[in-house]
Structure 1
Amino acid sequence: MNPTLFRALAAPAIIAAAAVPLAASPASDLAAVQQHLRSIKTMTADFTQTDRNGKVLTGVLTLKQPGKIRFQYEKGVPILIVAEGGALTFIDYSVNQVQRWPIKNSPLGVLLDPSRDISRYAKVIPGYDDRVISVEANDPKHPEYGRITLVFARDAGAPAGLMLQGWVALDSQNNRTTIRLAKQRYGGAVSDDMFRWNDPRKKGPRS
């Protein structure tokens, strides 16, 4: 599997959200995104990942605040991505490889640490559909980290009136990875055991 997704998640860019209503101000939309992120306690969703070559993988995303997320890929894909304990971990069971990066150096840091002020590193991207908000984030001092855009849809039944739809990540080599979410569910019970993983380099679970 091409690890573009993980590089995009691990790179110290910052998070974003998608098209803005023409009648709303960028500042108010960015504030709405911040409120949404701070309202989430747990979330699960089905995800579809598409890379620049059109390869599609599916799986289930599980999020729990503070600081926990899991990307469980479909059966037959020996890849797992987990954030816990301040680190984002990529496990490839096909080659018994584990890579870890600090969450704080990841665009997912915004999602997993909503206390951070996203107005310091993210901006709303103007759009033509007032049902959608897009926020783009990148670190201009480190273009090698790439760029990421999170997409939200306005939904009165979702936390703070927004529903995370997914994101698009573009790395420094212009490799694009798109994540689309479906069947988003907020506020359900999520055990901390969901964020444990089996270390292929030695016996026993990690947490």
Structure 2
Amino acid sequence: MTTIKSTLRRPLAGLASLALIGAVPVAGAIALPAPAFAASGTLDNAVAALRGIETMRADFTQTDRSGQTVRGKMTLKRPGKIRFEYADDVPLLIVSNGKSLTMIDYEVNQVQRWPISNSPLGALLDPNRDVKKYGKLRNTGNPDVLSVEVRDPNKPEYGMITLIFVRNGKAPGGWELTNWVALDAQNNRTTVRLANQRYGVSVSNSTFTYKDPRRASRRPR
């Protein structure tokens, strides 16, 4: 578990590491250097699917490049709010309040903060800006799987995120975000898989606050 904790604590790698990939034909699809694919899904479909999520809760599984895995709960609320709460054996919390992304390390009592726009997570939190402007469709070979690669060519230090959607008529926009893969500027790759997605749930704004460990070392519940 030491390796994955170290990965999470690297600024860009840690933020980029909030990327999950599914188990299925997606992995192969991401690796393909194929041209843009617009036979069934389009970039507008991806943007509509993300923008259609007013609130969402999901379980996530995160795997680093060495194969170590951690799990936790993700909560999202428009506009721009997200929370990644890890299981008890990983004393980290990642929260966006709509303006900045904050990583709280309860083991060493540290707080780090970045603008959302400096993180690959900007694609999730502001899809109209990042996905619409910087997204490119990748060939998956499956009309029911949509793969969107998002990177700012003028800012390679921000890394890249590949979002994976699977056609699902019950999901917002008809496409469900199931996985994403993040790659930082040092080519550190982390994959994340979502499960048990619940949409339209009640989420209080207090969910996106945190107890500052520099004042109290105990992790909030």
Query: TM-score, normalised to structure 1's length?
Result: 0.86
1:8 Cα shift? 4.4
1:78, 1:92 within 8 Å by CA — same for their partners in 2?
yes
The residue type equivalent to 1:81 in the other structure is I
Q: Aligned pair 1:162/2:167, yes or no?
A: no
In structure 1, what residue type is equivalent to 2:161?
Answer: I
Secondary structure in structure 2 of the residue aligned to 1:72: strand
Instruction: Say how many residue pairs are matched.
Output: 196
Displacement after TM superposition at 1:171 (Å): 1.4
1:165-176 equivalences under 5 Å are 165-176=178-189
Matching residue within 7, 21, 34 for 1:3: 7
Q: Provide the residue aligned with 2:21 in structure 1.
A: none
Secondary structure at the counterpart of residue 118 of structure 1: helix
1:42 aligned onto 2:55: yes
**Superposition deviation, residue 170 in structure 1:** 1.2
SS at match of 1:90: strand
Change over 3 Å in CA distance of 1:119–1:85 after alignment to 2: closer
Shift, 1:190, TM fit: 0.7
92, 115, 119: which is aligned to 1:106? 119
- Corresponding residue to 2:162 among 124, 135, 149: 149
Q: Alpha carbon RMSD of aligned pairs, Å? A: 2.4
Q: Aligned AA for 1:183?
A: N
Change (3 A) 1:116 1:32: same
Q: Deviations over 1:31-69 (max 9, x none)?
A: 111111121100110000000111100000000111110
C-alpha contact 2:120 2:159 (8 A) present in aligned 1: no
Deviation, structure 1 residue 147:
1.7
Paired AA for residue 196 in structure 2: K
Change (3 A) 1:117 1:49: closer
Q: Which residue of 2 aligns with 1:15?
A: none
Name which of 109, 134, 138 aligns with 2:151.
138
> Do the aligned residues in 2 keep the contact of 1:26 with 1:124 (CA within 8 Å)?
no
Find runs of 4+ consecutive structure 1 residues off by over 3 angstroms.
3-6, 8-11
Identity, % of aligned pairs? 54
Alignment-mate amino acid for residue 159 of structure 1: P
Q: Which residue is 2:75 aligned to? A: 62
Q: Distance in 1 between matches of 2:114 and 2:152?
A: 17
Corresponding residue number in structure 2 for 1:91: 104
Q: Per the alignment, in what secondary structure is the counterpart of residue 89 of structure 2?
A: coil
- Deviation readout 1:59-98 (Å, 9 max, x if unpaired): 0000011111000001121000000040000011100111
Return the match for 1:81 from 84, 89, 94: 94
One-letter amino acid of the counterpart of residue 93, structure 1 = Y
Unaligned stretches of 5+ in structure 1? 12-17
Indicate the structure with greater helix content.
2
Partners of 2:99 and 2:131 lie apart in 1 by 19
SS at match of 1:180: strand
- Where structure 2 has 5 or more consecutive residues not aligned to the other structure, the ranges are 17-25, 31-36
**Displacement after TM superposition at 1:9 (Å):** 6.6
What is the distance in 1 between the residues matched to 2:13 and 2:56?
Answer: 21
Q: Does 1:197 align with 2:197?
A: no
TM-score by structure 2 length?
Answer: 0.80
One-letter amino acid matched to 1:88: L
